[in-house]
Amino acid sequence: MQLSQTEENYIKAIYALSERSPSFDTSTNEIAVRINTKPPSVSDMLRKLTVKKLVTYQKYKRVTLTKTGRQVAIQIIRKHRLWEVFLHDKLQFTWDEVHEVAEQLEHIQSEKLTERLEKYLGYPKYDPHGDPIPSATGELKEAKRLMLSEMEMGVTCQVVGVKDSSSEFLQYLHQIDVGIGTKIKVLEQIAFDHSLIVSFKKGHQTTVSKKFADNVLVTS
């Protein structure tokens, strides 16, 4: 099925939002906020996507992706993350620069390109944000990741991704020299505001907020 860039962006947004909901659905307003449009535009598009059997939707109710819709979403995410790896590994883009360009590259239509790119990159399993890359057949492994705020005291862990990928957050991380692979040990939790005292690398010690720790994903 030949989808426009706009349709692809909607599908991807619905996927992301519904995956994080316990009932695997989402709402008109949530979609509007995420893709920076107004609710009426979303209503229009949901009608279109329903006709194309990509979403299950009745007006005034919440939306779910159909099986086809989910497959479409996963293929776009696959391309997005492969391009992110390319930009990061081959063209030395920094962590916070890759997303914006991948947002465009994910819409290039050529299966051959995707497969060749994947091979060229050495079949990477994770993108530069630590998110798993779906296989050509749509298999997507769950990354066993924790929020930094969930780590036990005294245990050293490694940064594998972020929850928030706003450029504000990514730039802050860059500023304090935290990236994929950075080793962090949680030393103490402050009862008052749940902020954490942590050490990076060789003893260099800082305090980070709960909000920060909730948005840094780590593996132990």
Which residues of the chain form contacts with DNA (CB under 7 A)?
A: 4-7, 27-30, 36-48, 59-60, 62
Using DSSP's 3-state secondary structure scheme, residue 26 falls into: strand
Contacted entry of DNA, Mn ion, a second copy, none for residue 127, CB cut-off 5 to 8 Å set by kind: Mn ion
Part of the chain binding a second copy (CB under 8 A), chosen from 32-40, 59-67, 98-106, 174-182: 98-106
A 10 A CB-CB count for 70 gives 21
Asked if 136 touches a second copy (CB under 8 A), the answer is no
User: Judged by CB, which is closer to Mn ion: 36, or 58?
Assistant: 36
CA distances (Å), origin 135, targets 56, 91, 124, 126: 25, 23, 10, 11
User: Judged by CB, which is closer to Mn ion: 164, or 206?
Assistant: 164
Contacted entry of a second copy, DNA, Mn ion, none for residue 110, CB cut-off 5 to 8 Å set by kind: a second copy
Which among 109, 17, 20, 11 has a CA at the least distance from the CA of 66?
A: 11
- Judged by CB under 8 A, the residue of 108, 153, 155, 176 near a second copy is 108
User: Judged by CB, which is closer to Mn ion: 8, or 25?
Assistant: 8
Report the phi/psi class of residue 123: left, alpha or beta, with left for phi > 0 and alpha for psi in -120 to 50: left
CA distances (Å), origin 204, targets 193, 197, 201: 22, 11, 6
Contacts of 113 (CB under 8 A, 6+ apart): none
User: Judged by CB, which is closer to a second copy: 16, or 117?
Assistant: 117
Binding residues for a second copy, per CB under 8 A? 87, 90-93, 97, 100-101, 104-105, 108-110, 112-113, 116-117, 120
